[in-house]
Structure 1
Amino acid sequence: MAEGKIIKALSGFYYVLSDGKIFQCRGRGVFRKNNITPLVGDYVIFQAENEKEGYIMEVKTRRNELVRPPIVNIDQAILVFSATEPAFNPALLDRFLVIVESRMVSPIICITKADLLNSQEREEINRYIHLYQSIGYEVLLLSAKTEEGIEDIRPFLADKTSVFAGQSGVGKSTLLNVLQPDLQMKTNEISTHLGRGKHTTRHVELVRVDSGLVADTPGFSSLEFTDIEAEELSSYFLEIEEKGRDCKFRGCLHLNEPKCAVKDAVEAEVIASFRYENYLQFLQEIRERKVRY
């Protein structure tokens, strides 16, 4: 038997990369009985007579897991957001950041379509970039068209398994095509009526980019905090977590509690008000979440 990594799952087949070769495998029948679903990114033990007829015998323990998109054992999430067309959306970015932080995946923020910005718009985007950098995030401003910033992203991808995620139409597939031209990922124009892109990626697949593996994933525009509790949310807003250590009461949710260091920091403009407002919105969603039986 051999070991490998699932790089694609499609129509009941799992494509396992092992020693530079790809083996087409099926899962064992016992997986279904035991409610085990192999996922892209899984390290597996398999046996194969040839590259077309193999069986996955065992799925190894996962380091982390994303649900939407379904992928596991990720080193980092490249969160791709456009500066315009569609407009930069910090509320959606914060939502993505909370989700990936909660899954123990390191985020890197990439803002695309820099070539479409006029000087005033670029100034506004730069303010957001500096803010997120001051919190502690890596942020890159890119243009697939002019290749601005493209070389800056390559070192982050080296020898890592990365997932590209973000809203539809922000240029994830276009960016991958520039990084690795032979991928020829399918792209679509933005719908002028809807203001967003069509979903061009239909399944999750790990592809080789330089010395790393990258997952291009189906675009999506909504995420729910299904596994996050109210008490832990602040730990996924890094600056709120830091200031929250100075709150008078342990377990402070930074709502109406007295002597809340976070609210003081928002008033003093040490914490950006839009980030705090997003925190409050997410907290309300979590608290109003229906109990599922």
Structure 2
Amino acid sequence: MAEGRIVKALSGFYYVKSGDEIYSCKGRGVFRNRKITPLVGDFVKFEESNPGEGYIMEIETRSNELVRPPIANIDQAIIVSSAVSPDFSALLLDQFLVLIESKDIVPLIFITKIDLISDEERTTIDYYKSVYEDIGYSVELLSSKQPDNPPVLEHYFADKVSVFAGQSGVGKSSLLNVLKPSLLLKTDEISKSLGRGKHTTRHVELMQVNSGLVADTPGFSNLDFNEIEAEELSDCFPEMRALKENCKFRGCKHHKEPNCAVKEAVDNEAISNIRYKHYLSFLEEIQSRKPRY
């Protein structure tokens, strides 16, 4: 059997890269019976049936996986937010960060359309940049119209498998086009009536960018925390995760408990009050969801 990695999934076919060749493969029926779906990013074993065609026989154990977009074995997630059109939302960014952290994927933050904002808006963006950098995140402020961006970003992609995430219209495809013009990914204008981007990316595909692999994925604006339990939420906030051992109670949710190191850090401004408010909002959302049976 040959080995390779799924780099594209489309209409029931899985395109497996093995060496310099790409094979068009179908999944074995046994996967359907076990309700296992091969994902882009999967390392697989396959048998060639005809030249350039084959059947996937085995799927290697995944280090991580995302449901939306459906992709596996990711090294890092580049969360793309825009400064304007749509307006920057720290709440939405924190939703993405929590989701990515819960999957043990390294998040990076790219904020686009910096060339379109006023000096006052720039002050706000610079403030948030410092907040996230203080936590330990890498933050880049970008304009896809500036040709000097790609060299600044190249080191992020080398030998990594990256996934782009962010709501529609923030400029993910435009950014990839700047990084690698030969991709010529379809981009679309913001829908003026809706105030958000039209979905222009229809499938998940891993593409070679700056000696790494990058997935361009459909943008989406709604995130839920169905896979995260209340006890796990603070672990998705690195600045809280670092302090939880100092709380008086094991399993402290950093809300109403006394002698809480996280609340003390918020009071001392060592933890961003905005991030803490978002944490409480997410905690309430998780605790109020209907129980699963």
TM-score tier, shorter chain, comes to over 0.9
Give matches, 1:196-215, under 5 Å: 196-215=196-215
From the superposition, tell whether residues 147 and 130 of structure 1 become closer, same or farther in structure 2 (CA, over 3 Å).
Answer: farther
Counterpart of 1:91, as a letter, is L
> What whole-Å deviation, never above 9, does each CA across 1:143-199 have from its counterpart, x for those lacking one?
111135432221010111100111100000000011111111111111222211011
Give matches, 1:1-293, under 5 Å: 1-147=1-147, 149-293=149-293
**Equivalent residue of 2:242, what SS?**
helix
Q: CA separation in 2, counterparts of 1:41 and 1:230?
A: 29
State the Cα distance separating 1:35 from its structure 2 match. 1.6
**Count of residues in Structure 1 that have an aligned counterpart in Structure 2:** 293
Q: CA separation in 2, counterparts of 1:129 and 1:243?
A: 22
Output the TM-score relative to the length of structure 1: 0.97
From the superposition, tell whether residues 62 and 176 of structure 1 become closer, same or farther in structure 2 (CA, over 3 Å).
Answer: same
Structure 2: which 5+ runs fail to align? none
Q: CA separation in 2, counterparts of 1:52 and 1:69?
A: 27
Q: CA separation in 2, counterparts of 1:117 and 1:242?
A: 35
State the Cα distance separating 1:118 from its structure 2 match. 2.1
State the Cα distance separating 1:48 from its structure 2 match. 1.5
Q: Is the 8 A contact 1:41 1:72 kept in 2?
A: yes
Q: CA separation in 1, counterparts of 2:263 and 2:27?
A: 52
**Equivalent residue of 1:150, what SS?**
helix
Identity rate of aligned residues, in percent? 61
Structure 1: which 5+ runs fail to align? none
State the Cα distance separating 1:50 from its structure 2 match. 4.1
Q: CA separation in 2, counterparts of 1:91 and 1:192?
A: 23
> What whole-Å deviation, never above 9, does each CA across 1:3-50 have from its counterpart, x for those lacking one?
100011111100001111111011111111122210100000112244
State the Cα distance separating 1:137 from its structure 2 match. 0.4
State the Cα distance separating 1:247 from its structure 2 match. 1.9
Q: Is the 8 A contact 1:140 1:152 kept in 2?
A: no
Q: Is the 8 A contact 2:49 2:55 kept in 1?
A: no
Q: CA separation in 1, counterparts of 2:166 and 2:194?
A: 17
Name the Cα RMSD after superposition.
1.3
State the Cα distance separating 1:52 from its structure 2 match. 4.0
